[in-house]
């Protein structure tokens, strides 16, 4: 920083410059609460353990959109609406069939969600019913987009969505072209519940910031997908699988591999969290699922490596796993391509994003923080030929 400027900056005017906005409370919300010390996560009043044990993804959607659980008829109505909204416009299918087969699925999802807005009525109202219908439509269409692109890029016929069954069942059916068994459906449903909502994470913040400009829900979900895609956020689950595959390819010892990376100051994906100072409660649930599924599908080595990595991370730098660590082996055991893992995260988190959108729209103020300017001031203009 230029000496001359340093004395111009009155830092006392900027008491809250926290890199990465750490510790900043930007919004109030009824959607979720994280106790980082205790490792607790609550969605609108219910602990993640209670929801994991009892809820379905559709009930969690209702909860995040209405701040209460649905009664039987409300749940049935929501399921019907979600099923009716599963189909995607033919222009979006054309795009999925014709875009590069080597594209990143998250990039394709981002574009396709953005395209959906071309086929939806322009925002004229801003009542809750209007927003809820949009939230339902986007939530219902994302699984169809992901499955359709995966089939198109693998030169397989795109499978039409079913007009019945759960979101989890229908997604696996569209992805694999065959009906999933009970256990696969339940596992996918549980993964959707665990990833649905998580406070003011980067993608939810992005989504709320876009909403605060009074832009539409497609824009905010599109922006949120862009934020989720990064490896420091949702993209970490794919990177966890890449790491396990790398260990396999190199025929490396997982403990030495991790120690080597730490020595080179490289991050181990799926570990660490801004808020949790202990094990992420979702990781705890996924850990059990990973163990069970890995053993059942003959991938126990991957699970054992994961446990060895977990212990090494704890011993070496005292950092615990987050949601992305064990979800990778869960999806792998289900035969899902690693580059779809973050898309599945988005397929679930859209419920939280849209819940936050509605909450923001109902009590909006433009998100407009400040930045501390640390550049030069009052430079003299130098003509281009003299620079």
Which residues have a catalytic role annotated?
Answer: 233, 273, 324
Please, which residues have CB within 8 angstroms of residue 21's CB and are 6 or more apart in sequence? 205
The rounded distance, in Å, linking the Cα atoms of 339 and 325 is 15
CB atoms within 10 A of CB 249: 8
324 sits near ligand CMC (criterion: CB under 6 A): yes
Of the pair 74, 339, the CB lying nearest ligand CMC is at 339
Of the pair 274, 299, the CB lying nearest ligand CMC is at 274
Candidates 137, 144, 201, 327; binder of ligand CMC (CB under 6 A) is: 201
Which residues 50-109 are close enough to bind ligand CMC by CB under 6 A? none
Nearest residue to 168 (alpha-carbon basis) of 355, 20, 1, 334: 334
Choose one: 217-225, 267-275, 336-344, 359-367; the region binding ligand CMC (CB under 6 A).
Answer: 267-275
310 sits near ligand CMC (criterion: CB under 6 A): no
Region for residue 67 given its phi and psi (left: phi exceeds 0; alpha: psi -120 to 50; beta: otherwise): left
Residue 106 CB, nearest approach to ligand CMC (Å): 13
Candidates 81, 120, 186, 267; binder of ligand CMC (CB under 6 A) is: 267
Which residues 15-34 are close enough to bind ligand CMC by CB under 6 A? 20
Please, which residues have CB within 8 angstroms of residue 284's CB and are 6 or more apart in sequence? 39
Which residues 268-287 are close enough to bind ligand CMC by CB under 6 A? 268-274
Burial 11-27 (b: 16+ CB within 10 A, else e): eeeeeeeeeeeeeeeeb
Residue 36 CB, nearest approach to ligand CMC (Å): 11
- What share of residues in the chain are helix, strand, coil (percent, to 5)? 60, 5, 35
| Maximum pairwise Cα distance, the chain | 75
Lay out the site mask for ligand CMC across 181-200 (x = CB under 6 A, - = otherwise).
-----------------x--
233 sits near ligand CMC (criterion: CB under 6 A): yes
The rounded distance, in Å, linking the Cα atoms of 163 and 170 is 9
Of the pair 161, 270, the CB lying nearest ligand CMC is at 270
Question: For ligand CMC, how many residues bind (rule: CB under 6 A)?
Answer: 20
Choose one: 61-69, 96-104, 244-252, 261-269; the region binding ligand CMC (CB under 6 A).
Answer: 261-269
Quote the tokens at residue 330.
């869960």
Contacting positions for ligand CMC (CB under 6 A): 20, 198, 201, 232-234, 236, 267-274, 317, 319, 322-324
């Amino acid at each position: 920083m230029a000496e001359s400027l340093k004395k111009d900056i009155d830092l006392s005017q900027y008491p809250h410059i926290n890199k990465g906005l750490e510790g900043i409370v930007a919004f109030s919300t009824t959607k979720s609460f994280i106790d980082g010390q205790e490792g607790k996560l609550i969605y609108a009043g219910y602990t993640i353990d209670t929801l994991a044990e009892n809820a379905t993804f559709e009930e969690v959607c209702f909860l995040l959109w209405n701040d209460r659980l649905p009664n039987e008829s409300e749940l049935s109505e929501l399921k019907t609406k979600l099923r009716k909204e599963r189909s995607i416009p033919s222009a979006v299918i054309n795009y999925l069939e014709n875009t590069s087969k080597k594209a990143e699925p998250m990039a394709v999802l981002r574009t396709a969600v953005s395209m959906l807005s071309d086929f939806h009525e322009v925002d004229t109202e801003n009542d809750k019913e209007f927003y809820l219908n949009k939230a339902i439509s986007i939530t219902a269409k994302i699984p169809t987009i992901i499955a359709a692109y995966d089939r198109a890029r693998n030169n397989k016929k795109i499978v039409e969505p079913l007009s019945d069954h759960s979101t989890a069942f229908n997604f696996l059916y569209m992805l694999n072209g065959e009906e999933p068994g009970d256990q696969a459906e339940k596992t996918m449903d549980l993964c959707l519940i665990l990833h649905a909502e998580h406070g003011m994470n980067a993608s939810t913040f992005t989504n709320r910031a876009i909403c605060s400009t009074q832009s539409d829900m497609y824009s905010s979900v599109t922006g949120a997908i862009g934020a989720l895609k990064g490896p420091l956020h949702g993209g970490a689950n794919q990177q966890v699988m890449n790491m396990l595959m790398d260990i396999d390819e190199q025929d490396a010892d997982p403990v030495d591999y991790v120690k080597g990376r730490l020595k080179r100051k490289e991050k181990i994906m799926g570990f660490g969290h801004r808020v949790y100072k202990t094990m992420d409660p979702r990781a705890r649930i996924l850990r059990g699922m990973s163990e069970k599924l890995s053993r059942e599908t003959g991938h126990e080595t991957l699970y054992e490596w994961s446990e060895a990595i977990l212990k090494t991370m704890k011993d070496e730098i005292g950092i615990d796993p987050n949601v992305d660590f064990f979800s990778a082996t869960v999806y792998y055991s289900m035969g899902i391509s690693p580059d779809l893992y973050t898309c599945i995260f988005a397929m679930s988190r859209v419920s939280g994003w849209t819940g936050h959108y509605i909450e923001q729209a109902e009590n909006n103020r433009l998100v407009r923080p400040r930045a501390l300017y640390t550049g030069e001031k009052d430079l003299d203009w130098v003509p281009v030929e003299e620079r």
